[in-house]
Amino acid sequence: MFGAHLAYAPLLTLLLPRRIVAIAPQHAAAMASVVMLTGAVAASLAHIFAGRISDGWRRRHGNRRAPIALGLCLTVVALIGLGFARRVDLIIGGLIVFQVALNLMFAPAGALLVDYFPDRAKGRVAALSNLAMPLAGLGTGAAALLFPRDGWAPFVALAGAVMLAVLPLIAVWPFAAAAPVLSAKDVLPAKNVLPAPEEPLPPSAHDGAWRRDLWGAWRRDLWRAGLARLLVQGGAAFMMTYFYLFLVRHPGRVGLEPGQAVDGLYGRLVMATTLVVLIVTVAAGHWSDRHRRRRAPMMAGALAAALALGAVQGGHGALLMVGYGLFQVGLIAYLALDAALVAELLRGHARPGEMLGYMNLSNTLPSILVPLIVLGLTGGAADVLWAPGFAGAAGCCVLAAMLVARIRTVA
């Protein structure tokens, strides 16, 4: 999972925005929006089909090893190709190939949480696996510090690091130990049989709720979880795509002189927040398993992210940097526990990879919608982007917390 997150985190937050600034400095915000929009569309479709492919491969061969291995090889090739792309059209084409390859690896790897781990351990395992996201942020910081200028070298180094990170999963994971795959008759209600009357299920009785109440509480909770994640990821998409450009446009806000490079400060900022993110995420995962509660820390994470966005938008110096760190803490903790909650809902489903592919739309649609909104409201003019962008992202996080509060089939 670290390799999967590492593949895209430095690429989308630093390497491609920096390449776009080098190619089209006067239109960087607009070009970044177009590039990220195209890549997000490709990722949305690719994750669904990759999940279906891995489900089918598991039914036939008992594991998901081959799709992960193929996705890894193609991801490495795509990263190296992007390192030599010097035109916007080549960057867009290379990013489409990269997203298809990455999701061929990412989708089956994400389904392992559903395949192999009981509910009592899902919070801890999800927290540990989601530590891959802030650890991948270390890759962003390292790229900024080790490769302070645009070039092909950071792309090639990134490809090598991804290869080394994912190979152990392919080589030594005990794929044969997965739970048995259920057939369609075990999953779907009998023909012409109405679902059971809707009633809230206690946390201990949610197992199999998707069988007894397919169109009721379970389905609505899955929708609520997906919509809440979409809203939180909307704030994340804004920060991921535009925070580097925000620093470039306003270096004085963090104590730099106009025209002074921000790469070093950005790299140190990313790396400094990672330790806190690791501690809080692991603690939240253990707490949620021990108390069998997912929703309360998820709501706390979403509200912390909203507060942090306000600090970034209105703060200077230390307040702005603390706001960035608090946003990362709230985001990663939320996403880790959300992964555990969704895996708990999908336990025993015959097609978890495909279902996670649909749920992954809540990760990728924000990367489509946010650039579209930015282009529509600002025409790519960065100077009018920041205040409404940060305020809108904060509002999305607050709405996400309200949706999580309404989930009933998981505590």
| pLDDT, one tens digit for every residue, the chain (411 residues) | 999 999 998 998 888 888 888 887 777 777 777 887 788 888 888 888 888 888 888 888 878 888 999 999 999 999 999 999 888 888 889 999 999 999 999 988 888 887 788 878 888 888 888 788 778 877 888 888 888 888 899 999 999 999 999 999 999 887 765 554 444 333 333 333 333 333 333 444 444 444 445 446 777 888 899 999 999 999 998 887 788 888 888 888 877 777 777 878 887 887 788 878 888 888 888 888 888 888 999 999 999 999 999 999 888 888 988 999 999 899 988 988 998 888 887 766 667 677 787 887 887 788 778 877 877 777 656 567 788 889 999 999 999 999 999 988 777
What's the pTM value of the predicted model, to 2 decimals? 0.69
Closest to 241 (Cα-Cα) out of 336, 378, 87: 378
Give the whole-angstrom CA distance, residue 195 versus residue 92.
46
Q: Where are the domains of the chain?
A: 2-172+200-405
Give the whole-angstrom CA distance, residue 72 versus residue 148.
27
pLDDT at 301: 94
Report CA-CA distances (Å) from 177 to 14, 58, 64, 112, 116: 39, 12, 12, 11, 7
Closest to 383 (Cα-Cα) out of 263, 237, 245, 260: 245
Q: What percentage of the chain's residues is helix, strand, coil (to nearest 5)?
A: 80, 0, 20
Give the whole-angstrom CA distance, residue 169 versus residue 106.
12
Residues comprising the chain, all counted:
411
* CATH architecture of residue range(s) 2-172+200-405: Up-down Bundle (1.20)
pLDDT tens by residue, 67-100:
999 999 999 999 999 999 888 888 889 999 999 9
pLDDT at 275: 79
Residue 267: CB partners within 8 Å, gap ≥ 6? 140, 141, 142, 143, 144, 145
Tokens 């949706």, located at residue: 403
CB of 42 closer than 8 Å to CB of 99? yes
Give the whole-angstrom CA distance, residue 60 versus residue 62.
6
pLDDT at 184: 38
